[in-house]
Amino acid sequence: MSQTAPRATSSKLAAILRLSRWREHVPFTIPLTLVGGLLAMEPIGAAVDWRLFVVLAANVLAMCFAFMLNDVEDAPDDALDKSKRAHNVISSGLLSRRQGLGVCAGTFALSLLLYVWAGGWALALGGVTLALCYLYSAHPFRFKARPLTDFLSHALMLSGLLVAAGYATYSSAADDVWLVVLAAVLFSAYGQFYNQVEDYDVDKSAGLQNTAVLLGKRTTAWLGHLSFAGALVCIVGAIAQGLFPDWLGVIVGIGVLACGVFPWELDMRGNKAAFSANLQRPGLLVANLTAWIWLAANLGLLAIV
């Protein structure tokens, strides 16, 4: 009896960690938030402080909440697909719906408290992020199951607002940062279009009326390509505006060359990559490398000549 209880607790904690699906969002939440804060401090040559790390933690928890609630609400649909049922801890019975909702509520509350601690525009943007995270998956709203609102809410809450919250921690002046925010939004829109094409058959059989079901696979795939191209244009524009330190180009180049040595065959969800999705993982590796080195330089931990 005494050995069974710890094992059961450990099993529940492991299920909760799986429910957070942290591997799918932490790799992009961290660089987006850090870059937002660094963009605000770069023009004045100041160093970021504890506030950015509070917002970073709040953003990570907000994304955990979004992915957790998504799995809780999608459990009945995921139960129809063998692979998704195994991936979803609610569908597979490792956690009950009630337990899942309880974890979601606690994660939401902790994220909101951290946004409150940060205050100002970071709190306002964080509040919008949490609201979209809820509306995206929760019944009866289900933005993810409606055309237009599916990819718009996805693009904002999983990227654009993360950059904006990091930036708003130190500045309320938009200046040219909107180019970086728009690039993040378009990259996220690409990811949503890609996921919808991959999930098309399951979503259609479940009766979802999202953008892909409305427009079809081919058109949705092309929208993904256009979003990706638009994001690249915005990044080039941001570089031309001088928003990033020049030396970051060397770091990006080294990262790209290093990633190019290895084959990349899986997308962010661990599935066989389709139409350029094999760039997702190396792209995030380069983004994280760049963001962390920029942060180290900003804090004086790394001397850049």
Maximum Cα interatomic distance, the chain, rounded to a whole number of Å? 66
Q: Report the candidate in 168, 173, 60 with the shortest Cα–Cα distance to residue 114.
A: 60
Give the pLDDT of residue 275. 57
Highest mean pLDDT pick, 203-207, 290-294, 301-305: 290-294
Give the pLDDT of residue 9. 77
Give the pLDDT of residue 209. 82
Contact between 126 and 118 under an 8 Å Cβ cutoff? The reply is: yes
Q: In terms of pLDDT, which residue wins out, 269 or 153?
A: 153
Partners of 266 in the beta sheet? 272
Partners of 272 in the beta sheet? 266
Look at residue 272 and give its three-state secondary structure.
Answer: strand
Q: How confident is the model at residue 39 (pLDDT cuts 50, 70, 90)?
A: very high
* Cα gap 101→68, rounded to integer Å: 8
pLDDT tens per residue across span 233-279: 999 999 999 999 999 999 999 988 887 777 666 656 666 656 566 67
Give the pLDDT of residue 238. 93
Least confident residue range of 3-12, 21-30, 231-240, 249-258: 3-12
Residue 148, pLDDT above cutoff 50:
yes
Give the pLDDT of residue 194. 87
Look at residue 262 and give its three-state secondary structure.
Answer: coil
Q: What is the mean pLDDT of residues 81-108?
A: 90
pLDDT tens per residue across span 268-283: 666 665 656 667 778 8
Give the pLDDT of residue 1. 45
Cα dihedral angle (9, 15, 20, 26), rounded to 10 degrees? 90
Mean pLDDT of the chain: 89
Amino acid at 83: S
Give the pLDDT of residue 119. 92
Look at residue 66 and give its three-state secondary structure.
Answer: helix
Please give the domain boundaries of the chain with CATH numbers for all domains: 22-298 (1.10.600)
Q: What is the mean pLDDT of residues 96-119?
A: 96
Give the pLDDT of residue 273. 57
How wide is the angle at C-alpha 27 spanned by C-alphas 22 and 29, nearest 5°?
85
Dihedral sign, Cα of residue 76, residue 79, residue 80, residue 84: positive
Give the pLDDT of residue 304. 74
Residue 58, pLDDT above cutoff 60:
yes
- Cα radius of gyration (the chain): 20
pLDDT tens per residue across span 192-202: 898 888 888 87
* Cα gap 197→182, rounded to integer Å: 22
Encode burial over 52-65: b for 16+ CB neighbours within 10 A, e otherwise: bbbbbbbbbbbbbb
Give the pLDDT of residue 66. 97
Give the pLDDT of residue 124. 96
Cα dihedral angle (97, 79, 206, 185), rounded to 10 degrees? 70
Amino acid at 110: L
